[in-house]
Amino acid sequence: MTVMNVVHMRVKPGQEAAYLAAHEAMRAAAMPGMRNFWLVKSGERSFIVVGEWDSMEAMAAARPAMIANLDKIRPILEDLGGGRGVTEPWVGEVALHLG
């Protein structure tokens, strides 16, 4: 079963280059079970991280590494408001893939 995680983040003004550099430095090899990783620019200073995983268990096992990566970039992220904090994460099994 393929699992996807999708996380919305917004960087503070002037921090886009640092944000991109931090993601380039992250290694998928440190997260077994990750098939693919995308960083989508969805607006001004707004990004969506998309990860594709072998299973829910593989993604859950990678949470400590994902949190460690988030902790590195947390200072350059803007609070999203509404009690969401600096990230808005979603996780689920792929229901349909048209490829």
CA-wise closest residue to 2 among 39, 50, 45, 40: 50
Q: What is the CATH number of the domain that holds 32?
A: 3.30.70.100
Q: What is the pLDDT of residues 5-62, one digit of tens each?
A: 999 999 999 999 999 999 988 876 678 999 999 999 999 999 999 999 999 999 999 9
* Residue 27 belongs to domain spanning: 3-88
| pLDDT at res. 71 | 95
* pLDDT value for 9: 98
The verdict on pTM exceeding 0.85 is: yes
| Domain contains 96 | no
Tell me the H-state helices in 46-95. 56-61, 63-73
- Quote the pLDDT of residue 96: 94
Structural domain contains residue 97: no
Given strand 46-53, what is the order of strands in its sheet?
Answer: 34-43, 46-53, 3-10, 88-93
